[in-house]
A and B are shown apart, each in its own frame.
Chain A
Amino acid sequence: MNRNKRKPVKPRYLLIFLVIVCAVSIALSYQNGGDKLAVQSGITSFLIPMEKGLNSLGEWTGKNRERMKTVDELIEENESLNTQIERLKAQISSMENNLSELDDLRDLLDMKEIYPDYPMVGARIISKDPGNWYNSFIIDKGSNDGIKKDMNVIADNGLAGIVTDVSATHSTVRGIIDDTSNVSGMISKSSELCIIGGDLKLMEEGLLNVELISADAEVVDGDEVVTSYISDKFLPGLLIGYITDVSSDSSMLTQSAHLTPQVDFENITNVLVITQLKSDLLSDDDAQSAGETTDGTEETAVKGEGE
């Protein structure tokens, strides 16, 4: 400021200077392909410890606001939940029957487990994007804990997002409900492929867009959608959510629908990061395919029948 006193800088030049600085750094990070610049990581590593403490304060205030719900509302909710418990109990017992039957049948078929056991790391969300346009969050695990870019993040048994940026102690995750997110999915009943995209317009209702389902596919509300085999970033077979509002596109070549995600993004606090990368899986497969040709042909045969 003392410098300014002697020789005041004209605001116009200051503005031009700062605009140029910004433009250069935008260009740099664009060239970097959205990866973090060194300056950026420097600033974040300074901010993150404070962010951690404040986020718990924020969570606390958020919870207190929930507490202000009226008693009537709570009683009503309690009643509906109780009936739901009854219904679910009944459902569980019938499911258990089904499950044992399924186990028997699976033994007979000698099938592999549908969900392979991926190695996972637990992480806590320490900050959520404060703006209104995007939906990304920061978790408290980084490259020190073995997190890498493009690792899949799950919560509540469903796909929550993908790691887009990694620093030493924290990483940024883009949620699947983010407007820029696109996931290649598969309707697990019929093996029909589709694209699941986030949409800011649907975020308030907590839904996602499902597009490019082929027109002759039979899709009904409640169909389960999982990540597909063809995605190069998402591991296959992770539950994404359930189909609602199926509609036929004007071109009549495809159908689209909405999807209720398995993950409750409003109350998400802890996540699991799968430390298995899809790209590694692919290259492993390539390396092993020479030795496992028999397995490979079997799988494709099964797939062909499915279609």
Chain B
Amino acid sequence: MKRILSYAVLICVFFFLQTGVFSHLRMGIIAPNLLIICTASIGMIRGKTEGCLVGFFSGILYDALYASYFGLYALILCVIGYMAGYVNRIFYEEDMTLPLVVIGAADTFYGIIVYLLTFLSRGRMDFPYYFLRIILPEMVYTLILAVLLYRMIFYIDRKLNSKGSDDARA
């Protein structure tokens, strides 16, 4: 129960940071993607099931406010959380490189999917431009924040584990 609650709080905090604060702290026109950090981190640390669920619910929040098609971002984030769960098997606690690689890959994947679904379908063909000017800078900005935020999520997870209140995988 405690874990569900802390996930709910975590998702809300990340969501409000994303929409309230970081949508103003843009580098040029680029804002980072905190929901990806949250989803991919949970997926890596806790496995497919929880990554999938966290991704779904944070995507739902984003969809409710901004998406033109309700469910699109939930779908993308849900799949990302699930795929990050594959890393859970080879996940090694002290290592920082792997999580960053996964988060970077997840954000790139997200960008490419959004481009394919909502831009290419409208005839915006110049993929290299969008890749270099939107997807790549977003990934870099996201990674910079991920260094901090991943540690935070990891720390929260360890706290929850040590209390041992209820561990879903036990």
Contacts and interface: CB of A to CB of B under 8 A. Distances in A.
Contact of A57 (B21, B62, B126): B21
Interface of B: 1, 3-4, 16, 18-25, 28-31, 33, 47-49, 52-53, 56, 59-66, 68-72, 74-75, 78-79, 82, 85, 114-115, 118-119, 122, 124, 126, 129-130, 133-134, 138, 166, 168, 170
Contact of B168 (A5, A15, A55): A5
Nearest to A26: B71
B165 to A, nearest CB: 10
B122 A47 contact: no
B34 to A, nearest CB: 8
Interface in A122-170: 127-134, 136, 138, 164
Contacts of A34: 68-69
Contact of B19 (A22, A39, A130): A130
- Give the interface SS of chain A, mostly helix, strand, loop or mixed: helix
B126 A26 contact: no
B23 A30 contact: no
- Give the interface SS of chain B, mostly helix, strand, loop or mixed: helix
A232 interface: no
Nearest to B12: A50
Interface stretch (A73-81, A96-104, A112-120, A199-207): A199-207
Contacts, number: 160
A122 B20 CA distance: 21
A87 interface: no
B53 A14 contact: yes
Contact of B23 (A1, A24, A129, A172): A129
Interface stretch (A59-67, A186-194, A252-260, A273-281): A59-67
Interface of A: 1-2, 4-5, 8-9, 11-12, 14-15, 18-19, 21-26, 28-30, 34, 36-37, 39-40, 43-44, 47, 50-51, 53-55, 57-59, 61-62, 65, 127-134, 136, 138, 164, 172, 179-180, 200-201, 203-204
Most buried by A among B4, B29, B65, B82: B65
Contacts of A40: 63-64, 70
B168 A25 contact: no
A179 B119 contact: yes
Contact of B48 (A15, A37, A65): A15
Contacts of B22: 58, 130
Contacts of B85: 11
Given A1-B3, A40-B70, A47-B61, A11 B23 contact: no
Contacts of A180: 122
Contacts of B64: 39-40, 43-44, 47
A36 to B, nearest CB: 8
A175 to B, nearest CB: 13
B70 A28 contact: yes
A54 B20 contact: yes
B16 A19 contact: no
B65 A44 contact: yes
A2 to B, nearest CB: 7
A2 B69 contact: no
Contacts of A58: 20-25
Given A18-B52, A51-B16, A133-B134, A23 B129 contact: no
A47 B16 CA distance: 9
Contacts of B52: 11, 14-15, 18
Contacts of B138: 132
